[in-house]
Amino acid sequence: MQNLVKSYNANAPLIQKFILTTLGNVNLKILNTSLIERLYKTFPSLELLYKSDEGFVQNSSNIYYDREDAHHIGVDRSYLIDEVAIQKGYFISEPYISTATGYLCITVVYAVGEEYLFLDFRLRKLLERFDLIEKDDVFKRVNRSSYAIIGGGLLFFGLFVVLYGFYTFGGYVFGSDELTIDAVFKPIIALTLGLAVYDLGKTIFEQEVLPKTQHVSDVFNAKTLINFSASIIIALLIEALLVVFKISIHNYKDLPYASALIGALAFLLLVFAIFIYLVRKSEKEPLDIRADD
Protein backbone atom coordinates (compact mmCIF):
# COMPACT_ATOMS: atom_id res chain seq x y z
CA MET A 1 0.00 0.00 0.00
CA GLN A 2 2.80 2.42 0.87
CA ASN A 3 4.46 1.70 -2.48
CA LEU A 4 1.23 2.54 -4.31
CA VAL A 5 1.04 5.86 -2.50
CA LYS A 6 4.71 6.62 -3.25
CA SER A 7 4.22 5.83 -6.93
CA TYR A 8 1.15 8.04 -7.08
CA ASN A 9 2.82 10.95 -5.27
CA ALA A 10 5.78 10.77 -7.64
CA ASN A 11 3.50 10.99 -10.69
CA ALA A 12 0.57 12.99 -9.27
CA PRO A 13 0.92 16.00 -11.62
CA LEU A 14 0.68 13.78 -14.71
CA ILE A 15 -2.30 11.79 -13.39
CA GLN A 16 -4.17 14.84 -12.11
CA LYS A 17 -3.66 16.73 -15.34
CA PHE A 18 -5.09 13.83 -17.33
CA ILE A 19 -8.18 13.55 -15.11
CA LEU A 20 -8.89 17.29 -15.01
CA THR A 21 -8.30 17.77 -18.75
CA THR A 22 -10.64 14.89 -19.59
CA LEU A 23 -13.34 16.16 -17.24
CA GLY A 24 -13.02 19.63 -18.76
CA ASN A 25 -13.92 18.21 -22.16
CA VAL A 26 -17.14 16.61 -20.88
CA ASN A 27 -20.44 18.37 -20.22
CA LEU A 28 -21.02 17.55 -16.54
CA LYS A 29 -24.04 19.76 -15.92
CA ILE A 30 -26.66 17.02 -16.31
CA LEU A 31 -25.89 13.78 -14.47
CA ASN A 32 -27.85 11.32 -16.62
CA THR A 33 -27.37 7.75 -17.82
CA SER A 34 -25.49 8.85 -20.94
CA LEU A 35 -22.99 10.90 -18.92
CA ILE A 36 -22.48 8.10 -16.39
CA GLU A 37 -21.79 5.54 -19.12
CA ARG A 38 -19.34 7.93 -20.80
CA LEU A 39 -17.46 8.57 -17.55
CA TYR A 40 -17.11 4.87 -16.76
CA LYS A 41 -16.00 4.17 -20.33
CA THR A 42 -13.45 6.99 -20.24
CA PHE A 43 -12.14 6.10 -16.76
CA PRO A 44 -11.85 2.32 -16.20
CA SER A 45 -10.41 3.13 -12.78
CA LEU A 46 -13.58 4.98 -11.71
CA GLU A 47 -15.23 3.17 -8.78
CA LEU A 48 -18.21 5.37 -7.99
CA LEU A 49 -19.51 8.91 -8.33
CA TYR A 50 -22.10 11.14 -6.71
CA LYS A 51 -23.12 14.78 -6.41
CA SER A 52 -23.37 17.21 -3.49
CA ASP A 53 -24.89 20.63 -2.97
CA GLU A 54 -22.86 23.79 -2.45
CA GLY A 55 -22.44 22.88 1.26
CA PHE A 56 -20.89 19.50 0.32
CA VAL A 57 -23.91 17.52 1.51
CA GLN A 58 -24.47 14.52 -0.77
CA ASN A 59 -27.72 14.88 -2.71
CA SER A 60 -27.49 11.87 -5.05
CA SER A 61 -26.99 8.13 -4.71
CA ASN A 62 -23.60 6.47 -4.88
CA ILE A 63 -23.55 5.53 -8.56
CA TYR A 64 -21.48 2.45 -9.36
CA TYR A 65 -20.89 0.92 -12.77
CA ASP A 66 -23.75 -1.56 -12.37
CA ARG A 67 -25.87 -0.30 -9.47
CA GLU A 68 -26.84 2.60 -7.23
CA ASP A 69 -26.85 2.95 -3.44
CA ALA A 70 -29.08 5.63 -1.91
CA HIS A 71 -28.03 5.03 1.71
CA HIS A 72 -25.51 7.88 1.68
CA ILE A 73 -27.84 10.67 0.57
CA GLY A 74 -27.63 13.49 3.10
CA VAL A 75 -24.11 12.64 4.31
CA ASP A 76 -21.82 15.61 4.86
CA ARG A 77 -18.74 15.22 2.61
CA SER A 78 -16.98 18.41 3.72
CA TYR A 79 -14.33 16.34 5.53
CA LEU A 80 -12.94 15.41 2.12
CA ILE A 81 -12.57 19.01 0.98
CA ASP A 82 -9.89 21.64 1.34
CA GLU A 83 -12.08 24.75 1.15
CA VAL A 84 -9.15 26.91 0.07
CA ALA A 85 -8.10 24.58 -2.77
CA ILE A 86 -11.69 24.10 -3.99
CA GLN A 87 -11.84 27.80 -4.92
CA LYS A 88 -10.03 26.82 -8.13
CA GLY A 89 -13.10 24.83 -9.13
CA TYR A 90 -11.69 21.40 -8.34
CA PHE A 91 -9.95 19.48 -5.59
CA ILE A 92 -8.12 16.14 -5.55
CA SER A 93 -7.78 14.35 -2.23
CA GLU A 94 -4.80 12.44 -0.91
CA PRO A 95 -4.96 8.62 -1.23
CA TYR A 96 -7.14 6.94 1.40
CA ILE A 97 -9.07 3.72 2.01
CA SER A 98 -12.62 4.00 0.70
CA THR A 99 -15.30 2.93 3.20
CA ALA A 100 -17.62 2.16 0.29
CA THR A 101 -15.34 -0.23 -1.62
CA GLY A 102 -12.46 -0.99 0.76
CA TYR A 103 -9.84 -0.10 -1.86
CA LEU A 104 -7.16 2.57 -1.85
CA CYS A 105 -8.52 5.48 -3.85
CA ILE A 106 -8.44 9.21 -4.52
CA THR A 107 -11.47 11.48 -4.77
CA VAL A 108 -11.71 14.17 -7.43
CA VAL A 109 -14.18 16.95 -6.57
CA TYR A 110 -15.22 19.01 -9.60
CA ALA A 111 -17.41 22.11 -9.46
CA VAL A 112 -20.50 21.88 -11.67
CA GLY A 113 -22.48 25.13 -11.40
CA GLU A 114 -23.49 25.48 -7.75
CA GLU A 115 -23.01 21.77 -7.09
CA TYR A 116 -20.00 19.46 -6.89
CA LEU A 117 -19.36 16.17 -8.62
CA PHE A 118 -17.39 13.60 -6.56
CA LEU A 119 -15.52 10.88 -8.43
CA ASP A 120 -13.68 8.07 -6.61
CA PHE A 121 -10.82 6.49 -8.57
CA ARG A 122 -9.22 3.21 -7.55
CA LEU A 123 -5.54 4.01 -7.22
CA ARG A 124 -4.14 0.70 -8.40
CA LYS A 125 -6.09 0.73 -11.69
CA LEU A 126 -5.18 4.37 -12.21
CA LEU A 127 -1.47 3.59 -11.90
CA GLU A 128 -1.82 0.53 -14.14
CA ARG A 129 -3.34 2.69 -16.88
CA PHE A 130 -0.20 4.83 -16.97
CA ASP A 131 2.06 1.74 -16.80
CA LEU A 132 3.45 2.98 -13.49
CA ILE A 133 2.98 -0.47 -11.95
CA GLU A 134 2.71 -3.94 -13.45
CA LYS A 135 -0.75 -5.16 -14.34
CA ASP A 136 -2.23 -8.11 -12.50
CA ASP A 137 -2.41 -10.41 -15.53
CA VAL A 138 -3.16 -14.14 -15.83
CA PHE A 139 0.48 -15.17 -15.43
CA LYS A 140 0.80 -13.23 -12.18
CA ARG A 141 -2.38 -14.80 -10.81
CA VAL A 142 -1.08 -18.28 -11.70
CA ASN A 143 2.29 -17.41 -10.17
CA ARG A 144 0.62 -16.19 -6.98
CA SER A 145 -1.50 -19.33 -6.81
CA SER A 146 1.63 -21.46 -7.15
CA TYR A 147 3.29 -19.60 -4.30
CA ALA A 148 0.11 -20.05 -2.25
CA ILE A 149 0.23 -23.83 -2.79
CA ILE A 150 3.95 -24.05 -2.01
CA GLY A 151 3.66 -21.76 1.02
CA GLY A 152 0.62 -23.68 2.25
CA GLY A 153 2.51 -26.94 1.88
CA LEU A 154 5.43 -25.60 3.91
CA LEU A 155 3.04 -24.39 6.61
CA PHE A 156 1.38 -27.81 6.73
CA PHE A 157 4.62 -29.79 6.87
CA GLY A 158 6.09 -27.37 9.41
CA LEU A 159 3.16 -28.05 11.71
CA PHE A 160 3.38 -31.77 10.90
CA VAL A 161 7.05 -31.91 11.94
CA VAL A 162 6.25 -30.07 15.18
CA LEU A 163 3.40 -32.46 15.99
CA TYR A 164 5.64 -35.41 15.09
CA GLY A 165 8.22 -34.16 17.60
CA PHE A 166 5.61 -34.06 20.35
CA TYR A 167 4.27 -37.47 19.28
CA THR A 168 7.74 -39.03 19.39
CA PHE A 169 8.50 -37.62 22.82
CA GLY A 170 5.08 -38.73 24.08
CA GLY A 171 5.82 -42.26 22.87
CA TYR A 172 8.95 -42.37 25.02
CA VAL A 173 7.27 -40.87 28.08
CA PHE A 174 4.06 -42.90 28.06
CA GLY A 175 5.30 -45.94 26.17
CA SER A 176 7.48 -48.85 27.13
CA ASP A 177 10.62 -47.52 25.43
CA GLU A 178 13.50 -46.40 27.59
CA LEU A 179 13.92 -42.63 27.94
CA THR A 180 17.37 -41.73 26.56
CA ILE A 181 19.31 -38.68 25.44
CA ASP A 182 18.08 -39.34 21.89
CA ALA A 183 14.49 -39.25 23.09
CA VAL A 184 15.04 -35.73 24.45
CA PHE A 185 17.12 -34.20 21.69
CA LYS A 186 15.33 -35.58 18.63
CA PRO A 187 11.98 -33.89 19.46
CA ILE A 188 13.90 -30.64 20.05
CA ILE A 189 15.49 -30.94 16.61
CA ALA A 190 12.07 -31.69 15.09
CA LEU A 191 10.55 -28.63 16.78
CA THR A 192 13.39 -26.40 15.59
CA LEU A 193 13.20 -27.62 12.00
CA GLY A 194 9.40 -27.40 12.09
CA LEU A 195 9.69 -23.79 13.23
CA ALA A 196 12.12 -23.00 10.39
CA VAL A 197 9.88 -24.60 7.74
CA TYR A 198 6.74 -22.93 9.13
CA ASP A 199 8.45 -19.54 9.22
CA LEU A 200 9.58 -19.98 5.61
CA GLY A 201 6.04 -20.85 4.50
CA LYS A 202 4.62 -17.87 6.41
CA THR A 203 7.14 -15.56 4.76
CA ILE A 204 6.27 -16.85 1.28
CA PHE A 205 2.61 -16.07 1.97
CA GLU A 206 3.42 -12.60 3.28
CA GLN A 207 5.84 -11.65 0.50
CA GLU A 208 4.44 -13.41 -2.57
CA VAL A 209 0.73 -14.03 -1.95
CA LEU A 210 -0.96 -11.58 0.41
CA PRO A 211 0.76 -8.27 -0.39
CA LYS A 212 1.42 -8.93 -4.06
CA THR A 213 -1.17 -6.36 -5.07
CA GLN A 214 0.67 -3.77 -3.02
CA HIS A 215 4.21 -4.25 -4.30
CA VAL A 216 5.69 -1.91 -6.82
CA SER A 217 9.34 -2.81 -6.48
CA ASP A 218 11.15 -5.86 -5.16
CA VAL A 219 12.96 -5.32 -1.88
CA PHE A 220 15.32 -7.85 -0.34
CA ASN A 221 13.96 -9.03 3.00
CA ALA A 222 16.96 -10.06 5.12
CA LYS A 223 14.81 -10.96 8.11
CA THR A 224 13.46 -14.02 6.31
CA LEU A 225 16.91 -15.41 5.59
CA ILE A 226 18.14 -14.58 9.10
CA ASN A 227 15.22 -16.37 10.81
CA PHE A 228 15.45 -19.42 8.58
CA SER A 229 19.24 -19.68 8.85
CA ALA A 230 19.15 -19.24 12.62
CA SER A 231 16.67 -22.10 13.00
CA ILE A 232 18.77 -24.41 10.81
CA ILE A 233 21.99 -23.53 12.65
CA ILE A 234 20.36 -24.16 16.03
CA ALA A 235 19.11 -27.56 14.84
CA LEU A 236 22.61 -28.44 13.58
CA LEU A 237 24.19 -27.35 16.87
CA ILE A 238 21.77 -29.54 18.81
CA GLU A 239 22.57 -32.46 16.51
CA ALA A 240 26.31 -31.85 16.97
CA LEU A 241 25.86 -31.84 20.75
CA LEU A 242 23.94 -35.11 20.51
CA VAL A 243 26.75 -36.65 18.41
CA VAL A 244 29.33 -35.61 21.01
CA PHE A 245 27.27 -37.23 23.77
CA LYS A 246 26.90 -40.43 21.78
CA ILE A 247 30.61 -40.63 20.99
CA SER A 248 31.67 -39.85 24.55
CA ILE A 249 29.46 -42.69 25.80
CA HIS A 250 30.20 -45.34 23.15
CA ASN A 251 33.41 -44.75 21.19
CA TYR A 252 36.06 -42.06 21.75
CA LYS A 253 37.78 -42.96 18.47
CA ASP A 254 35.05 -41.13 16.52
CA LEU A 255 35.55 -37.90 18.47
CA PRO A 256 37.53 -36.20 15.62
CA TYR A 257 34.43 -36.46 13.41
CA ALA A 258 32.37 -34.66 16.03
CA SER A 259 35.12 -32.04 16.35
CA ALA A 260 35.09 -31.50 12.58
CA LEU A 261 31.31 -31.04 12.67
CA ILE A 262 31.57 -28.51 15.49
CA GLY A 263 34.37 -26.68 13.65
CA ALA A 264 32.26 -26.46 10.49
CA LEU A 265 29.34 -25.10 12.54
CA ALA A 266 31.62 -22.56 14.19
CA PHE A 267 32.69 -21.33 10.74
CA LEU A 268 29.03 -21.19 9.67
CA LEU A 269 28.22 -19.13 12.77
CA LEU A 270 31.07 -16.75 11.94
CA VAL A 271 29.77 -16.24 8.39
CA PHE A 272 26.25 -15.80 9.75
CA ALA A 273 27.44 -13.19 12.26
CA ILE A 274 29.25 -11.25 9.52
CA PHE A 275 26.10 -11.35 7.38
CA ILE A 276 23.96 -9.98 10.23
CA TYR A 277 26.53 -7.25 10.89
CA LEU A 278 26.51 -6.15 7.24
CA VAL A 279 22.71 -6.18 7.11
CA ARG A 280 22.41 -4.07 10.27
CA LYS A 281 25.07 -1.69 8.97
CA SER A 282 23.30 -1.23 5.62
CA GLU A 283 20.00 -0.51 7.42
CA LYS A 284 21.55 2.22 9.55
CA GLU A 285 23.58 3.96 6.83
CA PRO A 286 21.63 6.28 4.48
CA LEU A 287 22.16 5.96 0.77
CA ASP A 288 24.84 8.31 -0.54
CA ILE A 289 23.41 9.73 -3.76
CA ARG A 290 25.46 12.34 -5.61
CA ALA A 291 24.45 14.16 -8.74
CA ASP A 292 26.95 14.21 -11.58
CA ASP A 293 28.49 17.58 -12.23
Inter-axis angle of helices 222-250 and 181-204, nearest 10: 170
User: In this predicted model, what pLDDT tens digit does every residue of 252-279 receive, in sequence order?
Assistant: 777 787 788 888 888 988 988 898 888 7
The pLDDT value recorded for residue 90 is 93
**What mean pLDDT is predicted for residues 231-235?**
78
User: In this predicted model, what pLDDT tens digit does every residue of 118-176 receive, in sequence order?
Assistant: 999 999 889 888 887 766 667 777 888 888 899 899 899 989 988 988 888 887 777 76
The pLDDT value recorded for residue 46 is 95
Specify which residues 119 forms β-bridges with. Answer: 49, 108
CA distances from 220 to 118, 225, 283 (A): 40, 10, 12
The pLDDT value recorded for residue 218 is 45
- Residue 285 banded pLDDT, cuts 50, 70, 90: low
Q: DSSP readout, 31-96?
A: --HHHHHHHHHH-TTEEEEEEE-TTSBB-S-EE-SS-EEGGGTT-B-GGG--TTGGGGTEEEPPPE
Residue 293: pLDDT over 50? no
- Residue 203 banded pLDDT, cuts 50, 70, 90: confident
The pLDDT value recorded for residue 211 is 47
Please state the length of the chain.
293
Residue 214: pLDDT over 60? no
Whole-angstrom distance, CA of residue 242 vs CA of residue 240: 5
User: In this predicted model, what pLDDT tens digit does every residue of 30-74 receive, in sequence order?
Assistant: 889 999 999 999 999 999 999 999 999 999 999 999 999 999 999
Residue 282: pLDDT over 60? yes
- Give the rounded percent of residues in the chain with a pLDDT score beyond 70: 86
pTM of the model: 0.52
Within 8 A by CB and 6+ apart from 95, the residues are 4, 5, 8, 104, 105, 106, 123
